[in-house]
Structure 1
Amino acid sequence: MRILLIDVNCKNSSTGDIVYALHKNLQKEGHESLLCYGRGDACDEKGIYKFANDTETKIHALLTRITGFTGIFSPLSTDGLIHQIKLFKPDLVHVSELHSYFVNPGKVIKYLRANNIPTMWSFHCDIMYTGKCGVAQNCDKWQRGCGKCPNLSHYPKSLFFDHTATMYKWKKRLFDGWDKLYISTPSLWLKNRVDKSFIKPKQIKIIANGVDTSAFKPVKNAKEQFRQELEIPAESKIIISVMPNFNDEIKGSHHIINLAERLINIGANNVYVFVVCKKGNLPNKLPSNMIVRMDGDSPQKLAYYYSAADVFTLTSSFETFSLTTAEALCCGCPVIAFECGAPETIYAQPYAKFLSYGDVGGILNLVLEELEKPQDSKTIRRYGISNFSAKNMVNSYMESYKLILNEKE
């Protein structure tokens, strides 16, 4: 097989990790693989190519804010990607993410369709069937036709103009009648959203996202070492939350702060809230029991943090899978979370427990209950490995590639 993979990132972010795992497995099995990506540092490995120009990406983001249009710029980067597709002559193209200011998806789709190239597209968010929103949340205009968008200030941000009706129609034209399109989603919940959209692929398959269980595993003595590192009592309990950006409202850092304040108010002086994020501007004052660390690029370091914690909390308002939940479980850490879309339909009790979104008091009560129990990290990890390993994910994608190509023949 000759498979060309496309994503925003490579070896960075959840989707970047997924395409990299697929690329390495394809090479390992003797197939030819080319991984093309648009953003992040250059990767000097065989079969990996960064096609986007960083300056052009910044211009694309600026023009999106000024004009209200997105995904129609980056001509040089887009031509660079199409040139790689022409040179590689893939049997199948697997698209993971084709947004984030680095490419014109319309030109890429037209090329794939014109050349009758079977295309598997992994949907991880709403962006390809909405006027612009990556996360439509409670808005359902995309089921009928966008316009008068209530979320213009959300990614991808427009400062002045609402062209969501025009972009919705543009995307609909791009996808209408595409008979070589196969879609995967990480959850039944997201599949149901795609089913309600204008996109009608030949097939939609559910393939759960997977984590590298050789990296995300319980770390010996992490609890003792981390408490020494933080200079807190050895018997202290730690609640962990992991998010890419502390200031992303969807990820709910304000709920984490609220949780920390409630712990102080009830006198739970031996319980600390630890937040790991890659970026963000922190408030001038955080609760005294709350620790925020800008980190998270290394799976091994994240595994150390998950292993050191007693419970993981997810306070997002919208998730199509939640890879951090799978990571925590594979490290043997139980989960307490808000209902936020897909996670409550994916992760089973007693390993993960869910409450109505915004019920911080309920989260507090469940966390306190969990902290009183002995932690059965081995059982939790077994559940994580059996359901959310990268190996399972890769095998499912490989099977899908072969079925699609056999159908082609």
Structure 2
Amino acid sequence: MKVLQINTVSGYGSTGRIVVDLTKEMVKQGNEAFISYGQKDSKYKNSFRIGTFLENKCHNILSRIFDRQGFYTSRGTNKLIKYINEINPDIVHLHNLHGNYININILFKFLSQSEIPVIWTLHDCWPFTGHCAYFDYVDCNKWIKGCYECPLSKSYPPSIILDNSKSNYNIKKKIFNGLSNMTIVTPSEWLAGLVKQSFLSKYDVTVINNGIDTNTFDIKDVNALKIKLRLENKIVLLGVSAEGFESRKGLKYFIELAKSLTSSYQLILIGATKNDCKQLPNNVIAISRTNNAKQLAEYYSLADIFLNPTLEDNFPTTNLEALACGTPVITFNTGGSPEVVDETTGIVVDKMDSKGLLNAILLMNRQFKKTNSLNCRKKAVEYYDKKRMYKKYLELYHLKTEVKC
């Protein structure tokens, strides 16, 4: 079996790691695997970059002016199609198609004509909106019947001048519904439910949860780190984000907590940007993003509570990594974030409930982690190990190729 995966990035961030890890697993199982990407090359041997740096930069600029994400990089996309014809894959597995690197109109016209079976893993809501990747946190439901006057036009993917959400919606609805053999995968039940309400509802939808390396993310001995940071007598609260702590990621709530909690608590944020740091109180330990998974696992293990006050997310791997390191999760009841939490692995708080978030922290003292650390670890290993994710994807690949035959 021969599979081509297409994603914005390769080997970088959660989606890029999923693409590379799944590719390696396929090869290990005796299959052929290829990656096409727009940015951040993982140096995997069977890789094809879509578009040049200059072409993708122009895509970014034009998208910001005209609000036409996914409608440029024509030359690079035509080269991609030649590459697809050369390798002749049994399946094309799509991931994120936003990110200034591909022309969705050209790609889907080719896929429709070629009749290659397609799997599309949705990592956010962009495929069925006229602009944004998320909308729940501003209570927008325009995407159900047709986008217009987007309230998030300046959010990712940002448009600083025009609002083309109505046109984008109609075009995406037409071209994305032109395939005869496509299965949609979502990492969360929440996103699966949204897809079934969207213009993609004609397609089969299956849920395959994101997976993590539970060998890397494990309960670590952190006594030395506690002493180094002088946290021996502190209740440690941890937040982690690969994208910085902008409004959707709950920066407001971290700031409120830092001002409200007593000195017996210590808040640590990993992945904070320079702009985040300017807004954070001095009693917060802010650490820039780290790609060192072992170091990150130590911080997860150090924490008594993992805080994820996201206002909307698909199925955050940070929750899974925290559980694998034996740390319970407190999160808002938004998106797919609460799907990993039960009475022994954390607390779910009503969306935007600042007081409820604070009360949950006060309720979840150190004893909660001592009592439930092994339960957190067990749940992560049984349900969210990446080998489980690989197995489900491989089963889906085989099912799609059998249907093709």
2:184 and 2:204 in contact (8 A); partners too: yes
2 CA distance for matches of 1:336 and 1:104? 39
Query: What residue in structure 1 maps to residue 290 of structure 2?
Result: 296
The structure 1 residue matched to 2:395, chosen from 396, 399, 405, is: 399
Work out the CA distance in 2 between the residues paired with 1:139 and 1:99: 20
TM-score normalised by L of structure 1 = 0.94
Letter in structure 2 aligned against 1:19:
V
Residues 1:345 and 2:350 aligned together = no
2:234 aligned partner:
236
**C-alpha displacement of 1:54:** 2.3
Identity percentage of aligned residues: 30
Deviation at 1:300, TM superposition (A): 1.7
* Residue from 255, 258, 271 that aligns with 2:256: 258
Distance 1:80 1:219, change over 3 A: farther
The 2-side partners of 1:167 and 1:203 are apart by 23
Aligned mates of 1:285, 1:242 — CA distance in 2: 16
1:110-146 per-residue CA deviation (whole Å, 9 max, x = no partner) reads: 1111111000000111111111111122211111111
Amino acid in the other structure paired with 2:322: A
**Aligned partner letter, 1:236:** K
Matches within 5 A, 1:5-404: 5-40=5-40, 42-137=41-136, 138-220=139-221, 222=222, 224-230=223-229, 232-263=230-261, 268-277=262-271, 279-284=273-278, 286-373=280-367, 374-375=369-370, 376-404=372-400
Q: Secondary structure at the match of 1:282?
A: helix
The whole-number CA distance in structure 2 between the counterparts of 1:285 and 1:68 is 30
Aligned AA for 2:209? A
Structure 2 CA distance for aligned equivalents of residues 285 and 105 of structure 1: 38
Q: Distance in 1 between the 2:105 and 2:342 partners?
A: 39
Please tell me the residue identity of whatever aligns with 1:369: L
Q: Deviation string for 1:381-407 (max 9, x for gaps)?
A: 011111111011110000001111111
Q: 1:20 offset after TM fit, Å? A: 1.1
Q: Is the 8 A contact 2:50 2:102 kept in 1?
A: no
2: CA distance, partners of 1:365 / 1:385:
29
Query: AA paired with 1:195?
Result: K
Deviations 1:15-39 (A, max 9, x none): 1111111101000011000011111
Q: CA deviation at 1:177?
A: 4.2
| TM-score, normalised via structure 2 length | 0.95
CA distance in 1, matches of 2:270, 2:76: 33
Contact kept? 2:50, 2:76, Cα under 8 Å: yes
C-alpha distance in 2, partners of 1:361/1:202?
Answer: 41
Answer yes or no: is the 8 Å Cα contact 2:7–2:16 preserved in 1.
yes
Change over 3 Å in CA distance of 1:233–1:142 after alignment to 2: closer
3-state SS of paired residue (1:254)? helix
Consecutive unaligned residues of structure 2, counting only runs of 5 or more, are none
Q: CA deviation at 1:286?
A: 3.3
Going from structure 1 to structure 2, the CA distance change for 1:228 and 1:80 (only over 3 Å counts) comes to farther
**Is the contact made by 2:269 and 2:285 (CA closer than 8 Å) also made in structure 1?**
yes
Q: 1:241 & 1:196 partners in 2: Cα distance? A: 32
State the Cα deviation string for residues 282-334 of structure 1 (Å, max 9, x = none): 34463232111002222222111101111100011001111110111111110
Instruction: Return the alpha-carbon distance in structure 2 between the equivalents of residues 339 and 211 of structure 1.
Output: 22
